[in-house]
Amino acid sequence: MLKLDFHPSGRHFLQIPGPSPVPDRILRAMSYPTIDHRGPEFGALGRKVLADIKKIFKTEQPVVIYPASGTGAWEAALSNTLSPGDTVLMFETGHFATLWKKMAENLGLKPEFIGLPGTDGWRQGVKPEMIEARLRADTSHGIKAVCVVHNETSTGVTSDIAAVRRAIDAAGHPALLLVDTISGLGSADYRHDEWGVDVTVSGSQKGLMLPPGISFNAVSPKALEAGRHAKMPRAFWGWQEIIEANKNGYWPYTPNTNLLYGLSEALDMILEEGLDNVFARHQRLAEATRRAVQAWGLEIQCQDPAVYSPVLTGVVMPQGVDADEVRKRIYERFDMSLGQALGKIRGTMFRIGHLGDCNDLTLMATLAGCEMGLQLSGVKLAGSGVVAAMAHLAEAKSTPSLKAAA
Ligand code: PLP
């Protein structure tokens, strides 16, 4: 048996930007016995989660649920809507935008990757005016889809999806809008219908507080129509058969029953707290984190305050400090996992996750671990981030707690 004795006392602090800690209530729900996935109880479970997940995406349209990680749902979005050789316009916001672009290449699409030069784009959100300019120049409408990441998990930068929609409309271009909100859903405000998104891709292991293993495609009528003509080979990912079976709460194959128990519980938790309260809680914790980073005298990876992520904060190390060494020290001394910097910014910063099942004291412990780890690593700090974050949390209005309401 695998020996899990690496955190002998207290809880491990899983402060990476997903997978996020799974609350006990969800763990317990997932421990119910597995049932017949073609029986009546399963149908009721399926119908419930399929209806409730729409409230989180803010859509009246179908949301397809896959027993797969987010990468699978990326592939589903592309393969259901496009044909081999199609040009897709993708925007380089960071590592995950880059991986999605590589996938498009592997699938035989022709991605055009635009963005700011070097690593500059990895500190900014999508520039809708660049998308508009490129689409205006595409008078033959060769570009079939625009693909953007809503919350770039590798950097802690969000993008204004409504503005991307406006850019596409202003150019009078028929391209589909495909959006990855794998790490934004359930933490940052997201509106599939209102923002005119054609396919929204998401996953279970971030704001939804579930283990990895479920992913989603929310699908617009325009995307469904595109799917009828799209020639990309697809079998497992095909929407039509799944949506048909979903009408009665079932899937055309064996779904991951126990993760769906967990999803049902997670949706209850989020809807009980209220989506707006969930978003406000994330904003509040993110602001406290940023105040800590500023008090330390360190830089935040995101350079544009208008698009700071409510999910995670990237903390840039001073020249000559290896962020991975700092993370290692914090892991070994304080039993806390922080996110590493990915791709072309590897080693330059670390990422603090403040998403999902996180409250004021979870965050304070997290920031204390960071502050001690930075000091132990010899990083000269301008002041105490812990004190700055505490001051913010003590002053800033908290969202209504269920205890206060009782
Ligand atoms: N897109 C974003 C923004 C992500 O954060 C991730 C994973 O962290 C992915 C895509 C890939 O999802 P997965 O690792 O679940 O396949």
Residue among 183, 311, 337 to mutate when testing ligand 1 (max atoms within 8 A of CB)? 183
Asked whether 203 lines ligand 1 (CB < 6 A), one says yes
Section 58-85 average pLDDT: 98
Q: How far apart are the C-alpha atoms of 267 and 258, rounded to whole Å?
A: 14
pLDDT at 8 (0 to 100):
65
Average pLDDT over the chain, rounded to an integer? 96
Section 109-129 average pLDDT: 95
CB 315 within 8 A of CB 379: no
CB 185 within 8 A of CB 56: yes
Per-residue pLDDT of 296-332, as tens digits, reads 999 999 999 999 999 999 999 999 999 999 999 999 9
Asked whether 153 lines ligand 1 (CB < 6 A), one says yes
Asked whether 17 lines ligand 1 (CB < 6 A), one says no
pLDDT at 397 (0 to 100):
75
Residues in the chain: 406
Which structural domains are found in the chain, ordered by start? 13-20+274-395 (3.90.1150.10), 24-272 (3.40.640.10)
Asked whether 70 lines ligand 1 (CB < 6 A), one says yes
Reported as type and span, the H/E element at residue 64 is strand 63-66
Q: Is the pLDDT of residue 198 over 70?
A: yes
Binding-site annotation: residue ranges for substrate: 351
Banded pLDDT at 171 (limits 50, 70, 90): very high
Section 59-86 average pLDDT: 98
Give one DSSP letter per residue of 149-209, joined into a string.
Answer: ESEETTTTEE--HHHHHHHHHHTT---EEEEE-TTTTTTS---TTTTT-SEEEEESSSTT-
Instruction: Name every residue whose Cβ is closer than 8 Å to that of residue 184 and which is 6 or more positions away in sequence.
Output: 150, 151, 158, 190, 202, 206, 207, 311
pLDDT at 406 (0 to 100):
46
pTM over 0.95: yes
Strands of 249-335, DSSP E: 299-300, 312-316
**What are residue 31's phi and psi, to 5 degrees?**
-90, 0
CB 75 within 8 A of CB 92: no
Q: Is the pLDDT of residue 89 over 90?
A: yes
